[in-house]
Structure 1
Amino acid sequence: MKVVKFGGSSLANGEQFKKVIAIVTAQPERQAVITSAPGKRFSDDIKVTDLLITYAEQFLNYLDTKKIQEKIFDRYQEIAQTFELPTEQLTWLKKELQQLQERTYPSAEYLLAAFKAHGEYFNARLLTLILNHLKIKARFIDPREVGLLVSSDSNDATVLPVTYENLARLDYTDEKLIFPGFFGVTKEGEIATFSRGGSDITGAIVARGLNAELYENFTDVDAIYATDPRLVQDPYAVTKMTYREMRELSYAGFSVFHDEAIVPAIEGRVKINVKNTNHPERPGTMIIPYQEFTPITPITGISSAKHFSALYLHKFLLNKETGFTLKILNILYKYGISYEHMPSGIDDLTIIFDNSQLTEAKRKAVSRDIRAVIQPDELRWIDDYALIMVVGEGMINRIGIMKDVILAISDHNINIHMINQGSSEVSIMLGTKSADADKAVKYIYEAFFEQK
């Protein structure tokens, strides 16, 4: 069997729903379907998830929510009307939309998670209704009923291992199983969402749990490209890549596929095929285990992300001080902050953070505690920080790859703040100023792909 997931742009309106239904029914083995919330119909449109966030914020601020509820309902009603679905079949949706603000939640964070999750929840139920209306056997699968259990991190949940046992017990024959993406339920029975874009994660979880032969992830591009098409015109389309290449690239800016979604696929050894809903006949990009992969280029992709900050520390004889790093980690743990990377020298150390981990209050508290405990000679924050990932299984067998990457940037007078290469030799990480990141990606791409 195959698991198919559709992104928000693939389910934005009735015409897109028609394409999705054609894809789902084209192959009987496409039995499990994961829905996202309706995305943008045009450039200035608003995603349903963002409308639901506005709904939650208005409710929390004691504002009238009638208009925003109507706006959300209209998005689904517009889709239903494309298929001439009787109006009374959407009564439940309007009722449940209203009931969201009548329920009791453990915290404002859990309220926000529940509101957000209903974009996918409503869309999955609507797709099920439409399929049945078209005489196609389909069943809605509620994560709360099937046991898709997640951690208690309300808006950044992770799947619990018992979920796979629960999914394996799911009974199905010739019907389509329609799952809402993006959320699961905690052991306490509360809705918790994955990080934004988390429907990819749901798809991978279901694919592993149902022991699928393939996870097809439908989006709005023909393939995964070697770099961002907004930076390079007509970039190289990658036909095959490995799990770890995809995870490295997704981490640093590739928005086609969620980096956390790779983990369940790896654990279940489920291959992933990223395809275009608008051109389903095109092969897309296959994501496979590295044992089955033969690289044809030294580099598979280059990506960048600018949502980082760095804390620089300098202290003489740092390398001689036992427990120095442990003291820093204890301070970060105290404030619930994880770090991304920690390159160091004999007298200095840089800690790189995702800005989503930080608030101004946390930055001040961490600085204060480090000064008190570590007593560095110098401590300063670097806000203008970007990370660039150069990724490729083919780099292992290519001598001089680091030199070529550095020359591609330095020849254009771009300063590199940090260089890090893992022992796997699959990726090279560079730190630059945010203003230089896009140019650096473009120059590295030109050096490796345009010359080729």
Structure 2
Amino acid sequence: MKVVKFGGSSLANGEQFQKVLNIINADPTRKVIVTSAPGKRFEQDTKVTDLLIDYAKKTIKHQDCAVIVQQIWARYSEIAQFFDLSPDTIAPLHQELCDLPTISYPDNDFLMAAFKAHGEKLNAQLLALLLQQKNFPARFLDPQEAGFLVSNVANDAQVLEETYQNLSRWRDIPEILVVPGFYGVTPTGSIATFSRGGSDITGAIWARGTAADLYENFTDVNAIYAADPRIVTKPHPIKIMTYRELRELSYAGFSVFHDEALIPAIQGQVYINVKNTNHPELPGTLIVPEKNFHPKNIITGVASSNHFAALYLHRYLLNKETGFTLKLLKIFYQFNISYEHMPSGIDDLTVIFDKRQFTEKLRQQMCAEIKRVLQPDQLEWIDDYAIIMVVGEGMRNKIGAMQNITTPLAQRHVAIHMINQGASRISIMLGTKKEDAAAAVTQIYHQFFK
């Protein structure tokens, strides 16, 4: 039994829907189908989720929504027309879209979540109608009926543990179940969404809950690659990798698969196969547990991300001052800031942040509080910062891997500001200037994939 998730590009228009129908028809073990909202049909197109966000904002401001509703509905009606679905058949979907502003929500955050979620919900309902038109034994399953329960956080929910027991009831249903991705319902019945791209998470939760044999994640790329194709020309496709390899690479920018979606899959030990909707005959990339995995290469991939910043603190005898780090962490907690890494020396330390959580005002306030409380000899905010992740199960027992990573960077005059090897010994993190990140990825890639 397989759980199958289709991304936004896979469900963007009628032609793509037909490919999805063919994929479902080709394998009768594909029993749970998870949908995303319609994505972009062409480069300048707008995703339906973004249109729904605009719809929600207009509703909150009590503005006229007629035009935006028409734009949203045009995407679904275009798909329905491609398959000659009658207007009467899809009329309830249109009414559901129009009725969104009339529903009572706990607050505007939950209003936004409900509006966003309908990109996936309407698409799941439409796909179920199309499967029924083709005489598939299929039905739409609402998350509330399924028992898909999430925490009471409107736009960044977490799955509740009882969900897995609830979903296990649906494993042996003879019908094909079409379920919307991206959202669940709170114990009080409100819609709450995962973070953006959360349909991957939904698929993984269903795969664990139903004890699926395989979780197929269909997207618009042939495989996960050893480096970003925008940086390295025709990089090596990864045939097989471990959960933790993908988790490490996702952290630094591998965006093919939502990194949070790995957690339910790991907990359920469900294999994941990332495949291309446009070329389903290709093997894609298989993601497996670490146990009994035998790497064929020293590294599996190298990735970079530029959305980091660093805070450098210098204070003499810092290593002998009891409670210095505790005071610093309390300040982060006070400002609701999480940090990524904190490499340190005897007189200094560097704190690395995901800078997307800062406004300029928040950054200044936090730095001012650090100066007041800790009185460092030097405090410097470094905005020009990139993280490079070099990942591979093959590095665990390989002597000289670090030299092979750093030597080509030295030859290219790429300065390394920070080095951190994970406790698992399958990843090495480097800090560089943003302008050096692409060159670093290219040099490391060619060192290991000649």
Normalised to the residue count of structure 2, the TM-score between the two structures is 0.97
Question: Distance in 2 between the 1:190 and 1:384 partners?
Answer: 41
Aligned partner of 1:412: which letter? R
Aligned partner of 2:202: which letter? T
Question: Distance in 1 between the 2:134 and 2:322 partners?
Answer: 69
Question: Distance in 1 between the 2:158 and 2:360 partners?
Answer: 27
Stretch deviating more after TM superposition (305-314 or 272-281): 305-314
- Residue aligning to 1:147: 147
**What do residues 167-225 of structure 1 show as CA deviations (whole Å, max 9, x unaligned)?**
11236432101110111122232211111111111000000000001001111111111
SS at 2:102 equivalent:
coil
Structure 2 gaps of 5+ residues are: none
Question: Distance in 2 between the 1:438 and 1:246 partners?
Answer: 20
SS at 1:101 equivalent:
helix
Aligned partner of 2:339: which letter? Y
SS at 1:64 equivalent:
coil
SS at 2:416 equivalent:
coil
**What do residues 111-138 of structure 1 show as CA deviations (whole Å, max 9, x unaligned)?**
2221111111110011011111111111
Aligned partner of 1:381: which letter? W
Question: Distance in 1 between the 2:105 and 2:352 partners?
Answer: 35
**What do residues 208-260 of structure 1 show as CA deviations (whole Å, max 9, x unaligned)?**
00000100111111111101111111110110000000111111101111111
- Residue aligning to 2:383: 383
Q: Matches of residues 283-302 of structure 1 in structure 2 within 5 Å?
A: 283-302=283-302
Q: Matches of residues 255-334 of structure 1 in structure 2 within 5 Å?
A: 255-334=255-334
Aligned 8 A contact 2:171 2:210 in 1: no
How many residues are aligned here? 450
Deviation, structure 1 residue 400:
1.0
Question: Distance in 2 between the 1:442 and 1:107 partners?
Answer: 47
Q: 1:158 to 1:347 in 2, by over 3 A?
A: same
- Residue aligning to 1:177: 177
Are 2:425 and 1:425 aligned?
yes
- Residue aligning to 1:363: 363
Stretch deviating more after TM superposition (119-128 or 98-107): 98-107
Stretch deviating more after TM superposition (332-341 or 171-180): 171-180
- Residue aligning to 1:412: 412
Aligned partner of 1:269: which letter? Q
SS at 1:385 equivalent:
strand
Question: Distance in 1 between the 2:373 and 2:400 partners?
Answer: 42
Are 2:133 and 1:133 aligned?
yes
Deviation, structure 1 residue 140:
1.0
Are 2:13 and 1:10 aligned?
no
Structure 1 gaps of 5+ residues are: none
Aligned partner of 1:95: which letter? Q
Stretch deviating more after TM superposition (330-339 or 195-204): 330-339
Stretch deviating more after TM superposition (293-302 or 315-324): 315-324
- Residue aligning to 1:108: 108
Stretch deviating more after TM superposition (154-163 or 65-74): 154-163
Aligned partner of 1:382: which letter? I
Are 2:226 and 1:218 aligned?
no
Aligned partner of 2:185: which letter? V
**What do residues 265-323 of structure 1 show as CA deviations (whole Å, max 9, x unaligned)?**
00000000111111111111110011131111100001111111212111111111112
- Residue aligning to 1:65: 65
Dislocated runs of 4+, deviation >4 Å: none
Question: Distance in 2 between the 1:349 and 1:186 partners?
Answer: 41
- Residue aligning to 1:190: 190
Stretch deviating more after TM superposition (194-203 or 55-64): 55-64
Aligned CA-pair RMSD? 1.3
**What do residues 372-393 of structure 1 show as CA deviations (whole Å, max 9, x unaligned)?**
2211111221111111110000
- Residue aligning to 2:26: 26
SS at 2:101 equivalent:
coil
**What do residues 129-161 of structure 1 show as CA deviations (whole Å, max 9, x unaligned)?**
111111111111111222211122222222111
Q: 1:170 to 1:34 in 2, by over 3 A?
A: same
Question: Distance in 2 between the 1:233 and 1:440 partners?
Answer: 14
Question: Distance in 2 between the 1:396 and 1:222 partners?
Answer: 28
Aligned partner of 1:447: which letter? Q
Aligned 8 A contact 2:422 2:428 in 1: yes
